[in-house]
Amino acid sequence: MRKQYGALVVGAGIGGIRAALDLAVTGHKVALIDRRPTHGGILSQLDHQFPSDHCGMCKMLPLMSRDSSSQFCLRKGLFHDNIDIMLSTEVAELEGEPGKFFVSLSTKSPLIDPTKCVSCGKCAEVCPVRVPSEFNAGLTERTAVYLPVPHAIPNHYVLDLDNCQRCWKCHDACPTGAIDLKFNERVDFHILVVDRDPAVETMLKDILNELNFPLHCVQTGQAAVDMLASDDRIRLVLVGMNINDMDAERVLTRSLELNADIPVVVMAETSQISTAAAMVTQGAREYLVKPLEAKRFVPWLDKLYMRIMSDTTEDLEVGAVVLAGGFECYNPVVDPEGGEDIWSYGHPGVLTAVEFERLLSGTGPTGGRLLHPGDNSEVRKIAWIQCVGSRDVKKNADFCSGICCMFSIKEAVLAKKATNGAVETTIFYMDMRTSGKGYQRYRNKAEHEKGVRLVRSRPHSVIPVNDGMDLKVEYMTDAGELVSETYDMVVLAAGARPPGGMEKFALTMGLDLNEWGFAQMQPYASERTSRLGVFAAGSFGEPRDISESVIQASAAAQAASRIIKVYDVLAGIESEPEPEYPDVSREPPRILVAVCTSCPTLEQTVDLEALSRKMSAVHSVCKVISVGATCTGEGWAEIEKGAAEFKPNRVLIGACMPYAYIPRLKELGRSIGLNPALMDVVDIYTPTFVLESEGQAEKEVFAALSMAVARLQGADPVPVPVTVDVARSALVVGGGLAGMTASMAIADQGYGVCLVESEEELGGMAMRLHTQLDGSDPHKFMEELIGQVEKHPNIKVLKDSRVAISRGSAGRFRSAIAGPQGVFPLEHGVSILATGGHETKVYESGLCVHKSVMTHLALEEQLATGVLDAGALTGVAMIQCWRSRDEDRTYCSRVCCPEMLKNVLTLKKRNPDLPIYVFYRDIMVQGFMETYYTQARKAGAIFIHYEPDNKPKVAFEDGKPVITALDPVLNAEVEIRADILSLSSGLEPNDVEDLLEVFGVEVNEDGFYQEADFKWRPVDFLKQGIYMCGAAHSPRRMDETVASAKAAAQRALRILSTEKIARETVVASVRHSLCSLCQACVAACPYGARVVDLEEGKIIVDEILCQGCGACAAVCPNSATILKGFHDGPMMSVIDAALEQPA
């Protein structure tokens, strides 16, 4: 039977992980696959993300039901009860329809048994192969048997068969026999050869003798088919194209009819390659070109044999599919036009951005020191060149990658930090696109505080000078002056491209691609691909940065969960009930210690018997057993047996890589009836690898084990979980596009929604839009949406109303809503704030005084309604960033540049000869929006750059605007007389001061809501159960608003989808008899999980909000507040155990 999942998520990068987690926490089973041998995508290579310039990926982990997922660094690994992760796996086929997709997956075997590999690295030591390391972006080399990512958990070596030389040294070096190259199974691998050429037969017999494969040679197709039918030992068919009695195609079809799984390889002459290639599409595994040479054929066959024997396929049935294939970085070497290497990419001092990031990484080639890869010298001057492979029509990249501006600024800041400011950093850019929340601030800080130099120019080439020691960068200033500068290092901000093999993938998945090779997405639903039920997360549909990828991923998860719900995909599949464990709190601790002895290094460095004797003497240890290999099934059975025999109430396992055991401890708990909180795994292997001196390793191992024993002695057996009954409905504040979309998303899943709008009509700011750049009709979309919302049986719309008060916490809020009919109370589980924004009011430059001056929005309306006749105009001027990105509002409003382009293109369409002048600072059009900028320039609009310290001046003559500004290209003042002056007024969040108090949330310095974490939790408030979306979160276009609304809805569904929220293992509690009500803990709690109940005279802990950080326990003067598992008592014993010398 096919294994059933709610959803399949393809791609385990940040987008895939977010989507999978979002689905998993709402109770859906998810299969998460990635074709790479590791999870994490490109982020596994990047150690630093702005704005903190470190990583905070772990903040994505679930906050509720934390016990069901891993609780450690997310870059290391991920476990979740509802997620099955399959690596090195690709989709081979996708059939079916939404709600019932049939997927077959093919998994490449690592050829190293992960249950036996102890990651000792002996195989890599003997491997003679050296190929560029993918992890270090080619800056270092790796062996063919290698660790894909040094920090991953579980971390096992994999064998890269494509680069293997077949010396088998690794096989011999492996101390645990984990490397399985199937030597013994060769004699059962019968090969059938169908070829008329006797030379082929002799040659094959000759060489296959050495490889031990039994060979059967026939000359006719009929004989081959007969043999296949009669002999089921045949595992591979090699078919020549020269047989007489039937076509090779016929042999292929018949073979596959007889045995659908049999691999058939075609042997073709050079002239028959096209037919052979066609046969591959009909089901042949691959084709070979004759003549066959032993030198190439033998390794090929050997590797094919190992693939056939080791690779696996799996068939799944899923309700929905989420694609999160991410992007690939543009490779400056590969120029489709075959142009010259103008960036000197071959030079060791020229790096791509990812390579530079690896250079700064602690796990990189230099251990994090900024050294020149050519000669390991100190780097003094670095230049970044933006838009390499992006915004380049000639390279089929008429789009902006959207990520490079920020990562270049970040890298410049990191370089400064790594050298204590010594290095000179210059960024050459075309437009510095800082149109995200906080981006402009980050840029200003880099430029003005950190001393990163920004030069607005595009160098035409990079040329090595001084015998290749330095790199010359030549560029033209705006004034036409040619400047030449030399650098030690040049970093190319290589943009995003569709992931490799996208075309084939699109064919498999049945997707349409856009002209740049990314998935084609639908308007107003940027998570929807062209195939129903298949959604795109992360940057699969358009290059995106982390926070937008995360939002997009949640939106895709929302769309997928809707399908799962609508089609009732997992109906009848009961999730396993939470097991109940016996209460052992009254029993004295009896600890079973199991020591894993699978790795010979332990035996070599540690006297196991002595260790076992010493451990047995430790208080409360009831038995010490040695287990062959704890990570295998047999080893596990031994522990189970030991547990049955000695009836311990705590279990301690000494093994390697403790993180990897977390899911298995739960299984063990189920089978032996012991709470996993009373079990622990400690690493006893690392000391044996790194400590040389006699007896030292033994001391360390003993200390590690006895510390764990001390901790287990005091471990809290978890009492019956306290739960909160969830009020399964939502309160949505704001009836604009964001609020309505979020309401629909929640209501469609069957939960009630109360939508509160302060105006008299729904619609908000989006109602002012009449056209969109992509040609879609926003008005129609909005009207349909309003209609749906008002008719939806689960949505109650309250207009002209406001929220007067809201109390309670996640899962159970009580609010009061004041409207024209009076005040009415509401119980709800979650709140979503979508209070939106508005066009900024600017009373300058004659706006509101002269009729000829208007905002972009007003111009759009006049053009759409026909008030303004474009044909009668003689000149139009536009000014961008009017009071945006300066001291008044230090952020980019994001919507004005597309709005301006919309007006330019409409005007040019109606009156192609109309002169249009646009004064701008940076044109902020990320992603595929870039193409409209190209169109606007092609249409003849003139773009004039200005600097903020020399803004265009506006005067009026006869009521018509006259704009004077410095044209940097002419290097002279220009005077533009226009009929109309259109200003980008920017976007401001609506005033929400009253709501901040009502909901207990915060806004940032610009008045936008302050999210829990900018990158990793972009739509969550710090206070659980409250979410944000739309323009109140940050300036957003319609598509982005919809995505954020769906993301917020999905996050909210996490709470609404359960009847009860259970308490975690690690939470704080108060021993009221010791509490002096000093309230120090209330102030210390970063989550607002503590309140003082004055009537009862008690500190109350909200166990849902508590995240178990222990800040309260540390401040408590009386030790009244305790954190489960980290009491003072056990902590003190752990310290004693750590310092105790073994007897």
Partner 1 sequence: MNNEFEPTILAFVCNWCTYTAADLAGTSRMVQQPNLRLVRMMCTGMVDPKYIVKSLLSGADGVLVSGCHPGDCHYINGNYKARRRVKLLNEILPQFGIEKERVKLTWVGASEGNEFAATVNNFINEIRELGPMEACSMAVV
d(CA 801, CA 496): 46
Near partner 1 by CB under 8 A: residue from 62, 96, 114, 121? 121
Work out whether 600 is an interface residue with partner 1 (CB under 8 A): no
Near partner 1 by CB under 8 A: residue from 331, 947, 1128, 1129? 1128
- The nearer residue to partner 1, 59 or 290, going by C-beta atoms, is 59
Work out whether 73 is an interface residue with partner 1 (CB under 8 A): yes
Near partner 1 by CB under 8 A: residue from 3, 72, 392, 458? 72
- The nearer residue to partner 1, 373 or 836, going by C-beta atoms, is 373
Work out whether 696 is an interface residue with partner 1 (CB under 8 A): yes
Q: 361 and 47 in contact (C-beta within 8 Å)?
A: yes
Compute how many residues bind partner 1; rule: CB under 8 A.
Answer: 60
Nearest to 986, CA basis, from 840, 854, 858: 840
Which runs of consecutive H residues, i.e. helices, occur in 618-752?
Answer: 633-646, 662-672, 686-690, 696-713, 737-747
* Per-residue contact string for residues 1004-1043; x = within reach of partner 1 by CB under 8 A: ------------------x---------------------
3-state secondary structure 1083-1135: HHCCCCCEEEECCCCEEEECCCCCCCCCHHHHHCCCCCEEECCCCHHHHHHHH
Work out whether 1132 is an interface residue with partner 1 (CB under 8 A): yes
**Separation in Å, CA 1083 to CA 996, 1067, 1102, 1112:** 19, 17, 14, 9
- The nearer residue to partner 1, 816 or 1080, going by C-beta atoms, is 1080
Residue 317 identity:
E
Q: Least CB distance from residue 605 to partner 1, whole Å?
A: 12
Q: 179: which DSSP letter?
A: B
Q: Least CB distance from residue 679 to partner 1, whole Å?
A: 15
Q: Phi first, then psi: what are they for 534, rounded to 5°?
A: -115, 120
Near partner 1 by CB under 8 A: residue from 284, 826, 1066, 1105? 1066
What residues contact residue 761 under an 8 Å CB cut-off, 6+ apart?
799
Work out whether 1110 is an interface residue with partner 1 (CB under 8 A): yes
Work out whether 714 is an interface residue with partner 1 (CB under 8 A): no
Work out whether 430 is an interface residue with partner 1 (CB under 8 A): no
Q: Least CB distance from residue 76 to partner 1, whole Å?
A: 6
Rg of the chain in Å (alpha carbons): 33
| Candidate ranges 285-293, 716-724, 754-762, 1110-1118; the one touching partner 1 (CB under 8 A) | 1110-1118
Work out whether 76 is an interface residue with partner 1 (CB under 8 A): yes
Nearest to 737, CA basis, from 522, 337, 1040: 1040
Work out whether 58 is an interface residue with partner 1 (CB under 8 A): yes
Q: 28 and 4 in contact (C-beta within 8 Å)?
A: no
Nearest to 65, CA basis, from 1014, 705, 914, 811: 811
Q: Least CB distance from residue 894 to partner 1, whole Å?
A: 25
Dihedral sign from CA coordinates of 482, 486, 487, 491: positive
| Candidate ranges 336-344, 547-555, 698-706, 1056-1064; the one touching partner 1 (CB under 8 A) | 698-706
Beta bridge partner(s), residue 1009 = 1003
* Per-residue contact string for residues 149-188; x = within reach of partner 1 by CB under 8 A: -xx-x-x---------------------------------
Near partner 1 by CB under 8 A: residue from 38, 68, 82, 119? 119
Work out whether 1114 is an interface residue with partner 1 (CB under 8 A): yes
Which runs of consecutive H residues, i.e. helices, occur in 526-593?
Answer: 546-566
55-58: long-range contacts, CB 8 A cutoff, minimum separation 24: 56/1013, 56/1015, 56/1016, 57/14, 57/1016
| Candidate ranges 207-215, 233-241, 336-344, 1123-1131; the one touching partner 1 (CB under 8 A) | 1123-1131
d(CA 860, CA 178): 68
| Candidate ranges 484-492, 524-532, 984-992, 1133-1141; the one touching partner 1 (CB under 8 A) | 1133-1141
Nearest to 9, CA basis, from 30, 24, 37, 25: 30
Q: Least CB distance from residue 47 to partner 1, whole Å?
A: 4
| Candidate ranges 252-260, 363-371, 810-818, 926-934; the one touching partner 1 (CB under 8 A) | 363-371
Near partner 1 by CB under 8 A: residue from 260, 720, 872, 1139? 1139
Calculated CA dihedral for residues 600, 606, 608, 612, nearest 10 degrees: -140
- The nearer residue to partner 1, 1026 or 1049, going by C-beta atoms, is 1026
Near partner 1 by CB under 8 A: residue from 3, 59, 196, 303? 59
| Candidate ranges 290-298, 669-677, 682-690, 858-866; the one touching partner 1 (CB under 8 A) | 682-690
- The nearer residue to partner 1, 857 or 1067, going by C-beta atoms, is 1067
Q: Which residue has the tokens 């939790």?
A: 1017
| Candidate ranges 14-22, 125-133, 1038-1046, 1124-1132; the one touching partner 1 (CB under 8 A) | 1124-1132
Residue 58 identity:
C
Count of positions (residues) in the chain: 1143
What element of type H or E holds 494?
Answer: strand 489-494
* Per-residue contact string for residues 1073-1092; x = within reach of partner 1 by CB under 8 A: -----------x-xx-----
Which runs of consecutive H residues, i.e. helices, occur in 196-242?
Answer: 198-211, 221-230
Near partner 1 by CB under 8 A: residue from 27, 56, 114, 714? 56
Nearest to 300, CA basis, from 236, 242, 378: 236
**Separation in Å, CA 481 to CA 279, 454, 474:** 60, 17, 10
Residue 83 identity:
I
Work out whether 1113 is an interface residue with partner 1 (CB under 8 A): yes
Q: Least CB distance from residue 1024 to partner 1, whole Å?
A: 13
* Per-residue contact string for residues 1090-1109; x = within reach of partner 1 by CB under 8 A: -----------------xxx
| Candidate ranges 299-307, 502-510, 583-591, 687-695; the one touching partner 1 (CB under 8 A) | 687-695
* Per-residue contact string for residues 548-587; x = within reach of partner 1 by CB under 8 A: ----------------------------------------
The backbone region for 423, taken as left when phi is positive above 0, alpha when psi lies in -120 to 50, beta otherwise, is beta
Chain centroid, CA 701 distance in Å = 37
d(CA 1132, CA 665): 26
Near partner 1 by CB under 8 A: residue from 439, 475, 636, 659? 659
d(CA 504, CA 501): 6
Q: Least CB distance from residue 592 to partner 1, whole Å?
A: 22
d(CA 905, CA 934): 11
CB atoms within 10 A of CB 1120: 20
Report residue 321 as tokens. 């599919």
Near partner 1 by CB under 8 A: residue from 338, 339, 367, 775? 367
Near partner 1 by CB under 8 A: residue from 27, 36, 62, 71? 71
Near partner 1 by CB under 8 A: residue from 274, 693, 865, 1073? 693
Work out whether 648 is an interface residue with partner 1 (CB under 8 A): no
Work out whether 1135 is an interface residue with partner 1 (CB under 8 A): yes
| Residues of the shown chain interacting with partner 1 in the complex, contacts defined by CB under 8 A | 47, 52, 54-56, 58-59, 71-73, 75-76, 119, 121, 150-151, 153, 155, 361-363, 367-368, 657, 659, 683, 686-687, 689-691, 693, 696, 699-700, 703, 707, 1022, 1066, 1084, 1086-1087, 1107-1111, 1113-1115, 1123, 1126, 1128, 1131-1132, 1134-1136, 1138-1139
